[in-house]
A = this chain, B = another copy of it.
Amino acid sequence: MAEQKKMVEAITPMDQDFAQWYTDIVKKAELCDYSGVRGCMVIEPYGYAIWENIRDILDKKFKELGHENVSMPMFIPESLLQKEKDHVEGFAPEVAWVTMGGGEKLSERLCVRPTSETLFCDHYARVIHSWRDLPKLYNQWCSVVRWEKTTRPFLRSVEFHWQEGHTMHETAEEARAETEQMLNVYADFCEQQLAIPVIRGRKTDKEKFAGAEATYTIEALMHDGKALQSGTSHYFGDGFARAFGIQFTDRENKLSYPHQTSWGMSTRIIGGIIMTHGDDNGLVLPPAIAPIQVMVIPVAMHKEGVLEKSREVLARLQKFCRAKTDESEQSPGWKFAQYEMKGVPLRLEIGPKDIEKNQCVLVRRDNREKIFVSLDELETRVPELLKAVHDGMYEKALARREQMTYTAVSFEEMKQIADEKPGFIKAMWCGDLACEEKIKEEAGLSSRCMPFEQEHLDGHCVCCGKEAKAMVYWGKAY
């Protein structure tokens, strides 16, 4: 009991200090450990298993849509990085440079990839010659490095894992369709697997990716009312293709430049899961990516028949879900708290009295509801309850986002909401950079996206009063 208490007390309540609550969960749920390397994480087994589940679901989807995995070098020679002007300006300030190799100074320094457009283009220039070589639908799973000054586990680290898709197409239409398709893959993944509702939309020019013609994003709202950019998809037009001299003979036998996309989702999303679903008892994991979906806890496990029954139940569960048990000498209470902390979606308790009644107790992590289930119905009830946990988590997150989304039609109103109420603010915008910068400066809000689902709140820009071109979601962001 002492240990259980200690563990529960060890998490700082969310309302008291959100940042500390986050750090406590990362540490206590054993997701990652700070490393001896500034700004780099050690992702521990439980955290990495979450990433593997995310990877496996996305990878399967990518492959179903015709994408193939490849591996590009982790280094980019300086001259290659410099080929596309906007891109190098965006990334050069935050890269790590290798200047020595094998005991000698390198004649050209190499940066550790912050993203791999340049490497893919270098390869595409060698392998794309004819329209028959298109489309190229490549993806890679890897880690990249951006020299961030202040870092936080998962949310912002010097090295992080991600996947980066890089595709080349015959036509602009096809490339635009790919950009949109992949944004929808991310959005559906967030909503259907991670139970995170997202806003789908387009970034303003100020916020778009360095070198892109258009950047699309999905934005999620965290517990504390800050936004998290959770996945992006970029349309490049033929800008990189021209810079890298990638040309193909088209169907009319003319030389053309292909049209390009890239899209990525990273370990950052694990930070999003923590901050969307977690509570003061710890992590709450969406069933689809939880390393353990059901934790079997034998109660009074030294009583005759309990361990046997609990193992029998475990074996049945393992046929259709990720289930584990804890037969350690810790008290059931300690175990309950421990696996709540780790966010396991369902706890299955089984003790002598349950066995007498041929039942077990299932406890949902999301709302702590206790459900008595006949042991004859495990195979149907457990999947139903996992789905119920997912749905409950999604609905709760969606309700919170709706509660925390405000509308402003004047700049005064906007500033007041920004001061007093964390969350999204919907407001009209004229499209001018000047207004976007003024809103950033005076209200502390960045434009999160111009949502695909536009609403007509008003005819005028919230900032300058000129004719409005789009409704924008504004917010403070991670």
Give the chain B neighbours of A44 by CB distance below 8 A: 70
Q: Which one of B43, B99, B101 contacts A100 once the chains associate, using CB atoms below 8 Å? A: B99
Give the chain B neighbours of A97 by CB distance below 8 A: 98-101
CB 8 Å contact bits of A218-231 with B (1 = contact, 0 = none): 00000000000000
Q: Among residues 385 to 401 in chain A, which have CB atoms less than 8 Å away from a CB atom of chain B?
A: none
Q: Among residues 62 to 101 in chain A, which have CB atoms less than 8 Å away from a CB atom of chain B?
A: 68-77, 80, 93-101
**Could you tell me if B48 and A70 are in contact, using CB atoms closer than 8 angstroms?**
yes
**Could you tell me if B110 and A77 are in contact, using CB atoms closer than 8 angstroms?**
no
**Is A172 among interface residues, defined by CB-CB distance under 8 A?**
no
**Could you tell me if A101 and B147 are in contact, using CB atoms closer than 8 angstroms?**
yes
Q: How far is the CB of A112 from chain B (nearest CB, A)?
A: 7
Q: With A102-B147, A147-B102 in contact, do A127 and B74 touch (Cβ < 8 Å)?
A: no
Q: Which of A118-126, A282-290, A354-362, A468-476 contacts B (4 or more CB under 8 A)?
A: A118-126
Give the docked Cα–Cα distance between A126 and B99 (Å).
32
**Could you tell me if A103 and B96 are in contact, using CB atoms closer than 8 angstroms?**
no
**Is A174 among interface residues, defined by CB-CB distance under 8 A?**
no
Q: With A37-B110, A147-B102 in contact, do A70 and B96 touch (Cβ < 8 Å)?
A: no
**Is A384 among interface residues, defined by CB-CB distance under 8 A?**
no
Q: Which one of B74, B103, B109, B143 contacts A159 once the chains associate, using CB atoms below 8 Å? A: B74
**Could you tell me if A77 and B36 are in contact, using CB atoms closer than 8 angstroms?**
yes
Q: Among residues 197 to 223 in chain A, which have CB atoms less than 8 Å away from a CB atom of chain B?
A: none
Residue of B nearest to A102 (CB): B147
CB 8 Å contact bits of A231-259 with B (1 = contact, 0 = none): 00000000000000000000000000000
**Is A128 among interface residues, defined by CB-CB distance under 8 A?**
no
**Could you tell me if B73 and A42 are in contact, using CB atoms closer than 8 angstroms?**
yes
**Is A161 among interface residues, defined by CB-CB distance under 8 A?**
yes
**Could you tell me if A103 and B93 are in contact, using CB atoms closer than 8 angstroms?**
yes
**Is A9 among interface residues, defined by CB-CB distance under 8 A?**
no
Number of interface residues of A (CB under 8 A): 54
**Could you tell me if B33 and A126 are in contact, using CB atoms closer than 8 angstroms?**
yes
**Is A16 among interface residues, defined by CB-CB distance under 8 A?**
no
**Could you tell me if A122 and B35 are in contact, using CB atoms closer than 8 angstroms?**
yes
**Could you tell me if A71 and B43 are in contact, using CB atoms closer than 8 angstroms?**
yes
Residue of B nearest to A144 (CB): B74
Give the chain B neighbours of A127 by CB distance below 8 A: 33
Residue of B nearest to A142 (CB): B143
**Could you tell me if B36 and A122 are in contact, using CB atoms closer than 8 angstroms?**
yes
**Is A149 among interface residues, defined by CB-CB distance under 8 A?**
yes
Give the docked Cα–Cα distance between A37 and B122 (Å).
10
Give the chain B neighbours of A73 by CB distance below 8 A: 35, 37, 40-42, 159
| Highest count of chain B CB atoms <10 Å: which of A36, A44, A95 | A36
| Highest count of chain B CB atoms <10 Å: which of A42, A48, A51, A77 | A42
**Is A45 among interface residues, defined by CB-CB distance under 8 A?**
yes
Residue of B nearest to A143 (CB): B74
**Could you tell me if A49 and B68 are in contact, using CB atoms closer than 8 angstroms?**
yes
Give the chain B neighbours of A317 by CB distance below 8 A: none
Give the docked Cα–Cα distance between A145 and B159 (Å).
16
Give the chain B neighbours of A51 by CB distance below 8 A: 71
**Is A455 among interface residues, defined by CB-CB distance under 8 A?**
no
Give the chain B neighbours of A148 by CB distance below 8 A: 102
Give the docked Cα–Cα distance between A159 and B95 (Å).
19
| Highest count of chain B CB atoms <10 Å: which of A35, A41, A99, A119 | A35
**Could you tell me if A71 and B99 are in contact, using CB atoms closer than 8 angstroms?**
no
Give the chain B neighbours of A112 by CB distance below 8 A: 74, 98, 112
Give the docked Cα–Cα distance between A161 and B35 (Å).
22
Give the docked Cα–Cα distance between A147 and B123 (Å).
22
Q: Which one of B48, B109, B159 contacts A69 once the chains associate, using CB atoms below 8 Å? A: B48
**Is A52 among interface residues, defined by CB-CB distance under 8 A?**
yes
Q: Which one of B70, B96, B126, B161 contacts A98 once the chains associate, using CB atoms below 8 Å? A: B96
**Is A429 among interface residues, defined by CB-CB distance under 8 A?**
no
**Could you tell me if A123 and B45 are in contact, using CB atoms closer than 8 angstroms?**
no
**Could you tell me if B110 and A100 are in contact, using CB atoms closer than 8 angstroms?**
no
13 example contacts (A-B, Cβ-Cβ < 8 A) are as follows: A33-B123, A35-B123, A37-B119, A40-B73, A41-B73, A42-B123, A48-B71, A74-B74, A93-B102, A96-B100, A98-B99, A101-B147, A102-B147
The 5 closest A-B pairs by CB, nearest first: A102-B147, A40-B73, A45-B68, A97-B100, A43-B71
5 extra interface residue pairs, beta carbon distance < 8 Å, beyond A97-B99, A103-B147: A36-B122, A40-B75, A41-B73, A49-B68, A93-B102
